[in-house]
Structure 1
Amino acid sequence: MSEATASPGLPSRLLADPEMVSACAARDFAQIFQLAKRRGGFHPSRIARACELTPSRVGEVMRGKPKITTMDVIERIADGLRIPGHMLGLADRSWERPAVPEQRQPTAVARPVQEDRPVAAGASGDLDEILAVAAGTRVTPTMLRSLQASIEDYWRHDDEHGGEALRPAVIGQLKYVKGILRDTADPAFRHSLHGIAAELARLTGWTYFDARQHSAARGYFTESLRLAREIDDRPFIANVLACLSLQATYQDKAEDAVTLARAAQDSARLDGGTPRLLAMLYMREAFGHASAHDQAATYEAIGEAQHHFGRIAPSDDDPAWLQYFDHTKLTVDTGIALGQLGDATAAEPLIAEALRAEPTANLRGRAFHTFWLARTQLQGLKVELACTTAGQALDLAAIVESPRVVAHLREFRRSLKPYRHTPAAMELVSRITELGS
């Protein structure tokens, strides 16, 4: 029997096997996947398709790391492999409930097959099917994987080129997914679609934020919150609140930034909050305190971020959208927060270290961080070096489209007024002025 026509879940004989029962009770997904492969004929690629995971993730789990602890993923595995809810400590799944008997039409008279003739679309059922195919609203695991892959591509493009050019495509895809949500009844697919829509809304908000269109950004961030709240995705709610906190920092609303970051921490803790997520959220709080020039609170939040980051384990089940927050990101964010406080001596080596380790393809991130390095160098009265570094940020700004980067460079130009007669400052001011013209 091919995978395309195979039973949608694990065989009943395997689900009744004591070894499988024991593995499910312990939520030992490495063992569950191994048994599914050896005794159920479910190869890793098939498990991945059924459970909306990547094959590489399935392979890692089968090797024993990382362990799966997130309820969303556990529920997808239960639904994908048709493991009854009670076996994994879940409520009964929707597909376990008795189905209403289907009212079948009489089939006593067989209609002869007519070959080489077009199918008439006059009957309403046929027409509905044609329209459904044309609209492309039939949800499949392949469609979900494609949507997820497109989001990853959007974020990669945003890092490398800025979000202005891709925004229309993201908004269009968000509308498309919301339209599918209206037409889809399957609870498993609706959960995944809500998550995809929430991420598209967040990405749209981010592109507006990067364009310094704060009202539109806040609207899309709020929509993302609503979509995530529909499926009670607490970690993602925390992620969106972190975006809103960063936006408040840019708008000089330090108190709002701190409040939003703490609300994000509360949301994360309701779902267990992985150490990496809490580390990122405490850095958002540090940014808010640094913007308010509250030195003691900034250092306390940085200390909490570093404490949680030190607790990260390979077995942590972090969502894909959080993987960017690595040691390099923690280092540069710490440097930026200290730079905001005016502690250039501590900030400069941290930002410089992060820039050496940061991927060269992340052009916008490198432009930001190069600006912050220049700013700390200027704070340390290294005027010529600061102008050279800011010139490197300017080179990157000419490649990536990000009004936030340009705004930072204009801010740097104003900071050069006390040194405006030095040759390095005069040349840089001229270049920045040309960029904004």
Structure 2
Amino acid sequence: MDRRGFLISSGATLSGIAANWSNAVTALPLPLDAPGRRLDPEVMTRLEQRMDDLRHLDDVLSGSELLPAATEEYRLLNRLASRATCDSRVSRRLFSNLAEAARVCGFLHFDAGQHAQAQRFYITSLRASASAGDPEVGANTLNFMAIQTYTKGNPQDAVNLVRTAQDRVTGSTTPRVRALLHARAGRALSKTGNRKGCAREFDAARDAFAKGIHDDDPPWAYSVTEGEIEMLAGSSALDLGDPRRALHSFTAAQQAEYSAAGHVRDGLLYLTRTARAHLELGDIDAACATAAEALQENSSVNSARPSDVLSDLRDQLAPHREVRAVREFLKMSA
């Protein structure tokens, strides 16, 4: 059995990790005092730019393609954090950047289906954010941990992770970050079947996002868009057994130019969910057309999550082989 596909922490252990982070991140970060090459602010700015480039590459490349580069970036930052000397301000920036590098590595391992390693990187990210005294980057890591947890583990654990993030940053972060956490809470609640709680969180996400962009938004918050919120709302409606509402949200996301935002892999994932919504509404031709579009796009991205959903769609469409569109899709995806 390949144990890389299993979570290494869940339940009370996972909640304890989040609680420990919440307590630790409030402490003042310690300046680095190890002997070594001095890291000045200009070098730190270049490292932060490299991290920003990596984030944007993550929007369009699969985990398997980007993972080697992301891992090397993490190792570089980890070495610098272990050896470099810098003042407390640069130290804070370095550990924040290290936390974000670990978060990206965690997500890329998750996208590649390597869940144990993904969780290890997420936990490392939380530790680095606590060292930096940066609750926002840690809250974003909990946001991504929640995705993994409601996908592979207990959805209530995912809700608890997002609640910890919200409790720590809601009063001090920007509306855009609050919108992200509300939307993630709504998505996690949909996995538990909590319709009312899910609806409240998405209403709050839309209200927060409507407050607009702020100069102090974290650099990773660019991914929080109206389209992203509506896509999450649509996915939640689908899991709650309301495919018609799901299609309404998916259409709203497309109208918000989600596909033009450069998030190729996520756009592909949502295409597969749109196909599923059509299928659940009995529109087999539309389901096949959308699934075929997703299949063609995935041939260039090769991401594990859309591939898994497309495999499930094949199984669901197989009983309808008498329909020509189904036969063509099954042949194409064989």
Same fold (TM over 0.5): yes
What is the CA–CA distance in structure 2 between the aligned matches of 1:331 and 1:192, rounded to whole Å?
33
Aligned to 1:18: none
Inter-partner Cα distance in structure 2 for 1:329 and 1:352 = 12
Note the alpha carbon deviations across 1:99-122, whole angstroms, 9 max, x for none. xxxxxxxxxxxxxxxxxxxxxxxx
Distance, in Å, in 1 between the alignment partners of 2:319 and 2:134 is: 50
Residue 143 in structure 1 maps to residue 43 in structure 2: yes
Q: Which protein has greater RCO, CA pairs closer than 8 Å, 6+ apart?
A: 2
Contact 2:92 2:133 in 1 (8 A): no
1:217 aligns with 2:137: no
Q: Pick from 207, 210, 214: which aligns with 1:307?
A: 207
Question: Are residue 265 (structure 1) and residue 166 (structure 2) matched?
Answer: yes
Name the residue aligned to 2:265.
364
**Matches of residues 26-425 of structure 1 in structure 2 within 5 Å?**
137-186=37-86, 187-269=88-170, 272-310=172-210, 312-315=211-214, 317-356=216-255, 357-360=257-260, 361-425=262-326
Q: Say if 1:283 and 1:334, in contact at 8 Å, map to a contact too.
A: yes
Q: 2:38·2:85 contact (CA, 8 Å) conserved in 1?
A: no
Structure 2 CA distance, aligned partners of 1:300 and 1:381?
Answer: 29
Q: Is the 8 A contact 1:252 1:291 kept in 2?
A: no
Where 1:318 maps in the other structure, the secondary structure is: coil
SS, match of residue 323 in structure 1 = helix
Residue identity matched to 2:70: V
Instruction: Measure the CA separation in 2 of the matches of 1:315 and 1:392.
Output: 36
Letter in 2 for 1:191: R
Query: Do the aligned partners of residues 291 and 417 (structure 1) sit closer, same or farther apart at CA in structure 2, a change above 3 Å counting?
Result: farther
The answer as to whether partners of 1:355 and 1:366 remain within 8 angstroms in 2 is: no
Counterpart secondary structure, 2:199:
helix
**Higher percent of residues as helix:** 2
Letter in 2 for 1:289: L
Task: Please give the alpha-carbon distance, in whole angstroms, between the structure 2 residues aligned to 1:158 and 1:319.
Answer: 17
Give SS of 1:170's match.
Answer: helix
Once the 2 structures are TM-superposed, how far is the Cα of residue 183 of structure 1 from its aligned partner?
2.2
Q: Tell me by how many angstroms 1:255 deviates.
A: 1.0
Flag structure 1 segments of 5+ consecutive residues without an equivalent: 1-90, 95-131
1:266 CA drift (Å):
0.9
Q: Conserved in 2, the CA contact under 8 Å of 1:368 and 1:405? A: yes
Q: What is aligned with 1:35?
A: none
Give the RMSD, CA atoms, in angstroms.
2.0
User: Quick one: percent identity of the two aligned structures?
Assistant: 26
CA offset at residue 140 of structure 1? 2.7
Deviation by residue 1:252-292 (Cα, 9 ceiling, x = unmatched): 521111111111111213x5132221221121111122122
Instruction: Report if aligned partners of 1:209, 1:217 keep a CA contact under 8 Å in 2.
Output: yes
Name the CA distance, whole Å, in 2 between partners of 1:362 and 1:211. 17
The DSSP-based 3-state class of the residue aligned with 1:160 is coil
**236-245 or 171-180, larger mean C-alpha shift:** 171-180
